[in-house]
Amino acid sequence: MAHIMLTLLIGMVLGVISVASNPSPYFAALGLVLVAGVGCVVLMGHGGSFLSLVLFLIYLGGMLVVFAYCAALAAEPYPEAWGEWSVLGSVLGYLLLVVGAGSWFWGGWYEGMWVPVDELIEFSVVAADSGGVALMYSLGGGLLVVSAWVLLLTLLVVLELTRGLARGALRAV
């Protein structure tokens, strides 16, 4: 299990590097798909299967699809993939950074341990992932209201920023 988790986490870091190395948005979205997918599997390995499902549906199936369509509006004839020298330079740089950070933290800087969510299930009243969502609707009502307000605010902010079609620097294509 530890080997699977290690492989998944390495895959996640490689995916993050593939996004951060600044390729064309198509390929960056592909990298994001990899990161989110692997992240969901990591989350499942820790027992948060419900949260993993919600993340897959909403993030990958909703937001990333919308982003892919928006990126398609700004398509270019010769997109920069990870084979291009400019992107490859960034990839190598970030790989070096990861190796450096890994060697800095080698030997354990933390005193804690991996504790999967469902391991304490005999000592818990609610499962940590779906129970948390249920709590948001009962005791955590205030946080639910604040979160809903933030989402509404984000909508209003985006609408205000893109209002006016052709005027200003944010133009409708």
Partner 1 sequence: MNPFILSILLLSLGLGTTLTFASSHWLLAWMGLEISTLAIIPLMSQHHHPRAVEATTKYFITQAAAAALILFASTTNAWITGQWDINFDLHFFPASMLTMALALKMGLAPVHFWLPEVLQGLDLTTGLILSTWQKLAPFILMCQIMPVNSSLITFLGVTSTLVGGWGGLNQTQLRKILAYSSIAHLGWMILVMQFNQQLALLALIIYIPMTFSTFMIFKTNSSTTVNTLAASWAKTPALTAITPMILLSLGGLPPLSGFMPKWMILQELTKQDIPLTASIAALSALLSLYFYLRVSYAMTLTISPNNLNATTPWRLQTTASTLPLAISATISAMLLPLAPATLALLSL
The smaller minimum CB distance to partner 1, of residues 83 and 108, is found at 108
Judged by CB under 8 A, the residue of 1, 2, 73, 169 near partner 1 is: 169
Nearest approach, Cβ of residue 21 and partner 1 (Å): 17
Residue from the set 97, 145, 146, 148 that interacts with partner 1 by CB under 8 A: 146
Per CB under 8 A, the list member of 78, 138, 160, 165 interacting with partner 1 is: 160
Per the structure block, which two tokens stand in for 15?
Answer: 């995916």
Determine the interface stretch with partner 1 among 17-25, 90-98, 128-136, 152-160 (rule: CB under 8 A): 152-160
Binding mask 73-112 for partner 1 (x = CB under 8 A): ------------------------------------xxxx
DSSP string, 38-107: HHHHHHHHTT-HHHHHHHIIIIIIIIIHHHHHHHHHT--SS---TTSHHHHHHHHHHHHHHHHHHHHHTT
CB of 36 to partner 1, least distance (A): 16
Q: What are phi and psi of 18, to 5 degrees?
A: -65, -25
**Interface stretch with partner 1, choices 20-28, 29-37, 116-124, 141-149 (CB under 8 A):** 141-149
Secondary structure element (H or E) that encloses residue 158, with its range: helix 141-161
With both helix axes pointing from N to C terminus, report the angle between 141-161 and 128-137 in degrees, rounded to the nearest 10. 80
Q: Is 66 in the site for partner 1 (CB under 8 A)?
A: no
Specify the residue for token string 């902010």. Answer: 157
38 and 15 in contact (C-beta within 8 Å)?
A: yes
Strand, helix or coil at 139? coil
Q: Is position 164 an interface residue for partner 1 (rule: CB under 8 A)?
A: yes
Site of interaction with partner 1 (CB under 8 A):
109-112, 143, 146-147, 149-150, 153-154, 156-157, 160-161, 164, 167-170
